[in-house]
Each structure stands twice: as structure tokens, then as C-alpha cells.
A = this chain, B = another copy of it.
């Protein structure tokens, strides 16, 4: 599915390009929503339906599950891709993810993540140090 890291910038008309490789999967429409760690998630329509189904089945009684589902569902918005494969990001999502000008667009399996460049660097540094040794983890996975 989606794979790879790309750098784009939001232009004067607030448009953000999606990598050509990803466009072919999305088609003309996609769903954007609040992600984790202050990034945004972009799903294809099919994937979004699957995810929404799962989220709706989370037990209403559990506060944390309910919160998780809320974040994902309430923030969601359907977006169109223009002829050049660009999308418009709603203001409230732009605020949520601190998007400025330089943006990282990254494929992670069944979703695309959208990060402000600074936030991405921050996250990557933090995670790489916390993660300790990649080699050990790979070992645990039997790779």
C-alpha cells in the first residue's frame, strides 16, 4: 500500500500536493482526520469505511476507547483531489497539526500521514532515542 517519505509545501492558496504514487490509490477523493502525535491521517474511502466500522464497535463504556474513537471520527472530513492531485486542509486540522509551510507526507501501510516538518523532526528524534537499538527490536521480530 502506501510507502515512503515525501516533502512538499503548502502554497499561497493553501493547497498541499499528494505524491503521484499515492494519487493512483486515492482517486478523486479521500478522508482526512486527526491522527496521533499531532499529525493528520489521510485514508482512502474504502479504508476509512473499514476503520470507522471498527471504531464504532469500541465499547462505549470505556472512556479511553471512546475518546480515541471521538478524536478520529469527529475530526474527519472528506477532501477532493484537484487535477494536480492537491488537497485543501481544513483550518481546524491545520491548527491541530501545526502545519506551517514545509510538510512531510508519508505512507504507513493503509494510511498517509501528514506532518509539519518541524514536528516530524521532533518526533523522529524523540522516538529514535527512546526506541534504543533498532537492531534489538528487529531481532525480537525475528528479522
Is A51 interfacial (CB 8 A cutoff)?
yes
Copy number in the complex reads 2
Task: For residue A50, give the distance in angstroms from its CB to the closest CB of chain B.
Answer: 8
Is A12 interfacial (CB 8 A cutoff)?
no
Task: For residue A136, give the distance in angstroms from its CB to the closest CB of chain B.
Answer: 11
- Please, which residues of chain B bring their CB within 8 A of the CB of A4? 74, 76-78, 90
Assuming the contacts A61-B68, A127-B67, A142-B54, asked whether A73 and B31 have C-beta atoms less than 8 A apart, the reply is no
Is A122 interfacial (CB 8 A cutoff)?
no
Which of the residues B67, B109, B127, B137 comes within 8 Å of A131, measured between beta carbons? B67
- CB <8 Å contact, A5 and B90: yes
Question: Main secondary structure on chain A at its contact with chain B?
Answer: helix
Assuming the contacts A54-B142, A56-B109, asked whether A128 and B71 have C-beta atoms less than 8 A apart, the reply is yes
Task: For residue A133, give the distance in angstroms from its CB to the closest CB of chain B.
Answer: 9
- Please, which residues of chain B bring their CB within 8 A of the CB of A135? 36
Which of A5, A55, A113 has its CB near the most chain B CB atoms (within 10 A)?
Answer: A5
- CB <8 Å contact, A5 and B77: yes
- CB <8 Å contact, A108 and B70: yes
